[in-house]
Every structure is written in structure tokens, then in C-alpha cells.
């Protein structure tokens, strides 16, 4: 089940580091060229004690992830599926750069199954919502990815 996409420079496992507990979810690399830097918790805690600026950076990273989670939570089932998808795509486009620039190809693999996971619906229902946004000229669909052709229109469709 897809919970979130990580991007270059993201830090994961901060809560586990602070609480000295296991990571709550699995992380899966989606691209062959993915690089991950694994730093043992004891070394992280020692660095944090020596460099308070790292503590601040981790707090900012946690705030970023909390904002993304909040965006997912405020999307509710009373919204139409295409509006929910528009909101998710708007958030994802903001992670890949300026969401107001057009066209913007999302810098991540995003399959129909992924869209379904993000929305909590089946692949076919997510595809129907994506096709609706395509018919409205807001996105173009490609194999396992998409391009936002009208970010302003997408934001309007997302009722932002």
C-alpha cells in the first residue's frame, strides 16, 4: 500500500531515531538509480548532540512530512474522485517543483495502482478519475507517469 513518495534529500526514520524504535513502514526504491544513505541511529544521535543545526533541519523535515500527511487527511470521501485526484496531483507537483509552472511532468513513477492507493480506491476507479482530468485538458497520461498540462486549472479543479 503506497503511503507517500520520497524525494531527493528527504530524510526518513526521524521518529524512529528520536524514539529509538523500529521504522513503522517499509521503504521501497522505485527506480534502479535510487541511492540511499543509511546512517546508524547511534551515529545520528551523536551528530545531533554535536550540531544543533541538524536538530533544526530534522524538525523542518518532520514539519514537511506532517504537512503532506495533513494534505492526505483533509481529502475526504465526500469529494468527487476526480477532485480528490486533482488535489493529490497538485500536492505531488509541488514536491517536484513549482506547481504553477506548466507543463510539469511528475518526477516520479505514478501508476494507476499508485493513484488508486493514494485515493483509497481501486485501480480502475482511479483510472476513470484520471481520464476525466485528461478529458478536461488538465493532465496527459503516459505509461506509469503523467504530465500536468494546466496546473492553474488543476488547482481550480481541486478547489484550492
Name the band, by pLDDT with cuts 50, 70 and 90, for residue 128: very high
What does the pLDDT average to over 59-88?
80
What does the pLDDT average to over 32-54?
85
CA distances from 40 to 16, 17, 20, 108 (A): 11, 9, 11, 27
**Which residues touch 121 (CB under 8 Å, ≥6 apart)?**
81
What does the pLDDT average to over 114-130?
88
Could you give the 3-state DSSP secondary structure of residue 44?
helix
Name the band, by pLDDT with cuts 50, 70 and 90, for residue 119: confident
pLDDT tens per residue, range 51-65: 989 888 888 888 877
Percent with pLDDT over 70 in the chain: 79
Residue 98: predicted pLDDT: 55
Highest mean pLDDT among 20-24, 32-36, 73-77, 133-137: 133-137
pTM: 0.65
All three cell numbers of 4: 507517500
- Better-scored residue on pLDDT, 17 or 80: 80
**Which residues touch 113 (CB under 8 Å, ≥6 apart)?**
2, 123, 126
- Better-scored residue on pLDDT, 128 or 151: 128
Residue 121: predicted pLDDT: 87
Cα–Cα distance measured from residue 157 to residue 87, given in angstroms and rounded to the nearest whole number: 8
Name the band, by pLDDT with cuts 50, 70 and 90, for residue 6: low
What does the pLDDT average to over 40-46?
86
Amino acid at each position: 500500500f503506497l503511503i507517500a513518495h520520497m524525494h531527493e534529500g528527504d530524510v526518513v526514520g526521524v521518529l524512529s531515531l528520536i524514539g529509538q524504535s523500529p521504522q513503522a513502514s517499509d521503504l521501497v526504491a522505485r527506480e534502479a538509480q535510487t541511492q540511499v544513505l543509511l546512517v546508524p541511529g547511534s551515529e545520528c544521535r551523536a551528530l545531533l548532540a554535536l550540531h544543533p543545526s541538524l536538530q533544526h533541519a530534522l524538525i523542518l523535515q518532520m514539519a514537511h512530512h506532517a504537512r503532506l500527511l495533513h494534505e492526505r487527511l483533509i481529502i475526504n470521501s465526500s469529494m468527487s474522485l476526480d477532485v480528490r485526484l486533482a488535489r493529490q496531483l497538485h500536492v505531488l507537483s509541488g514536491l517536484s517543483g513549482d506547481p504553477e509552472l506548466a507543463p510539469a511532468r511528475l518526477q516520479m513513477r505514478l501508476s494507476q495502482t499508485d493513484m488508486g492507493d493514494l485515493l483509497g480506491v481501486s485501480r480502475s476507479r482511479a483510472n476513470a478519475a484520471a481520464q476525466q482530468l485528461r478529458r478536461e485538458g488538465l493532465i496527459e497520461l503516459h505509461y506509469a507517469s503523467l504530465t500536468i498540462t494546466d496546473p492553474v486549472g488543476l488547482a481550480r479543479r481541486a478547489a484550492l
